[in-house]
A and B are shown apart, each in its own frame.
Chain A
């Protein structure tokens, strides 16, 4: 079945460092890909998405490109801030009609001032 594998955490960086969180997927067909973020004490929020190969999703300085040839959707940010500390989840939706999401295990990110 469909699955998502994320870079294991936790990840700790200093403010203004470059961030990469790796995500690869296995799916039949052409899934949509997502990054969700969970800030402490809050619900999951959609950070960005891409619906077809070579699409780039971006939001709040974060970017991820849908790479079909490597089945990857790595999350990047050029300069992280303390406020980016959260748990990040990569996810896919294999069936457009149901929009049932398959999540990775999550990566906890801590940014130190």
Chain B
């Protein structure tokens, strides 16, 4: 069990650029979640996958955000035309199935200049 892995740990970009983050869940975990955490706040739910199917998206996830989980393994979160308000920690979590414990990665810290 190597834990949930996120890459990169830090990303600095200029406003208007596109960025992509990757999450590798714990092997055999069917559920994968994305959360966003801003300074001094708790994580906020963005979206989740059951295997390769994206089952729910938060209203926080504007049209500039897209997430995929091809083949039900790793997941990517892309933000197009980044804005300064996108600066946050993006957290990934996975769980074995419904009702099971969530395991979180260490996150990707995005700074939009």
Contacts from A to B (Cβ < 8 Å): 4, 36, 41-46, 89, 91, 96-106
Among B31, B55, B102, point to the contact of A101 (Cβ < 8 A): B102
B25 part of interface (Cβ distance < 8 Å): no
Complex A-B: 13 CB contacts under 8 Å: A4-B42, A41-B106, A42-B106, A43-B105, A43-B106, A46-B101, A97-B98, A98-B55, A101-B102, A104-B42, A105-B42, A106-B41, A106-B42
Residue of A nearest to B101 (CB): A46
Stretch at the interface among B13-21, B43-51, B66-74: B43-51
Assess whether B48 is in contact with A98, with CB atoms less than 8 Å apart.
yes
Contacts from B to A (Cβ < 8 Å): 3-4, 31, 33, 35, 40-45, 48, 55-56, 91, 93, 95, 98-107
Residues of chain B within 8 A (CB-CB) of A98 are 48, 55-56
A101 to B95, CA, bound (A): 13
Residue of B nearest to A95 (CB): B56
Whether A103 touches B95, Cβ cut-off 8 Å, given contacts A41-B106, A43-B105, is no
